[in-house]
Homo-oligomer: A and B are copies of this chain.
Amino acid sequence: MTSAAFPTVEEYEAQVTGWWRTGITRIRPGEILLRGYPVEELIGNITFVDQIWLMLRGELPTPDQSRLLEAALVAAVDHGPQAPSIAAARMAATCGVGLNNAVATGTNLLGDVHGGAGQQCMEVLREIQERAGDGGDVDAAAAELVAEYRARGEHVPGFGHRFHPRDPRRDPLLELTERAADAGAVTGWALRAGRALEAALAAGRSRPVPMNIDGATAIIYSELGFAPELGRGLFVLSRSVGILAHAWEETTSGSRIKGPLPRPLLAGYDGPEPRAVPRRA
């Protein structure tokens, strides 16, 4: 139609198979290959976290890599119904949509602001590493970067929490990363950069700005070699568990068309007072 010459069967075949080409899965009658592994051999032989790694990276992780990723996924599943992603999913569950739609409603909200801090922190860690260079001064690079953020009046993503003076998920995640570094499972480059950032942020302040869950998982995902964008992707997989649990709890409560506030506590109105519609000439 748009191609002047009439294509051959081979040209059609090439166009179509090239259009939706994938290296993840090969489906043939009776065969499902995932990254080259027959699915029937994976079932029962790898963990769900191994499967997540395999699907995203193309190869199976080592047990040490898998354990570290597992800790990060376990840590980020939920932060309660005050989070808009969870609240929206609970509301969806009261509106007569499927559980899949409720989960989609929640994950759809994990954007740059609500779900992107980990991704942004991974980019910051990488930036510090690049500035310091091989065997360079990570502390100086971190201090320099913190100064730049403060000059711009911006927060460094992954540090501080509007609710927790100290995020309870920080310590166990850093300890596991340290152990993995000691065991040689990871190099520890991102851990050093993160600690340097934390120190630079605390320098000369009465109240420190400790690393939060986004910062701690950003270190782990960076150490494990994930691209920053996948930092958000992995957060989505983890938080989907909490979103599903809350949507299900709301479903079983049997509530219908449930908004953010109980009816008597209506949203405030600050618009114009009642007025008449002007008649058109």
Contacts and interface: CB of A to CB of B under 8 A. Distances in A.
Nearest to A252: B227
A67 B166 CA distance: 34
Interface string A1-43: 1110011110011011111111111111111111111111111
B15 A87 contact: no
Interface in A135-169: 162-166, 168-169
Contacts of A67: 44
Contact of A109 (B2, B30, B39, B92): B92
Nearest to A253: B21
Given A84-B259, A104-B107, A257-B83, A18 B240 contact: no
Contacts of A207: none
A67 B267 CA distance: 33
A271 B33 contact: yes
Nearest to A234: B244
Interface stretch (A69-77, A121-129, A183-191): A69-77
A182 interface: no
Contacts of A16: 16, 261-262, 265
Contacts of A81: 20, 22, 25, 259-260, 267
A177 to B, nearest CB: 11
Contacts of A42: 74-75, 277
A87 B20 contact: yes
How many copies of this chain does one complex carry?
4
A55 B241 contact: yes
Contacts of A60: 277-278
A229 B241 contact: no
A27 B71 contact: no
Contacts of A83: 257, 259
A199 interface: no
A252 to B, nearest CB: 8
Contact of A236 (B29, B56, B240): B240
25 contacts: A17-B268, A18-B262, A20-B81, A22-B80, A22-B270, A23-B269, A25-B81, A29-B164, A32-B80, A36-B271, A39-B169, A40-B168, A47-B47, A60-B277, A80-B267, A81-B260, A88-B88, A88-B105, A97-B98, A98-B111, A99-B233, A100-B233, A104-B105, A104-B107, A113-B256
Interface of A: 1-3, 6-9, 12-13, 15-52, 55-56, 58, 60, 63, 67, 70-71, 73-75, 77-85, 87-88, 90-92, 94-101, 103-105, 107-116, 162-166, 168-169, 171-173, 175-176, 229-230, 232-233, 236-238, 240-242, 244-249, 251, 256-280
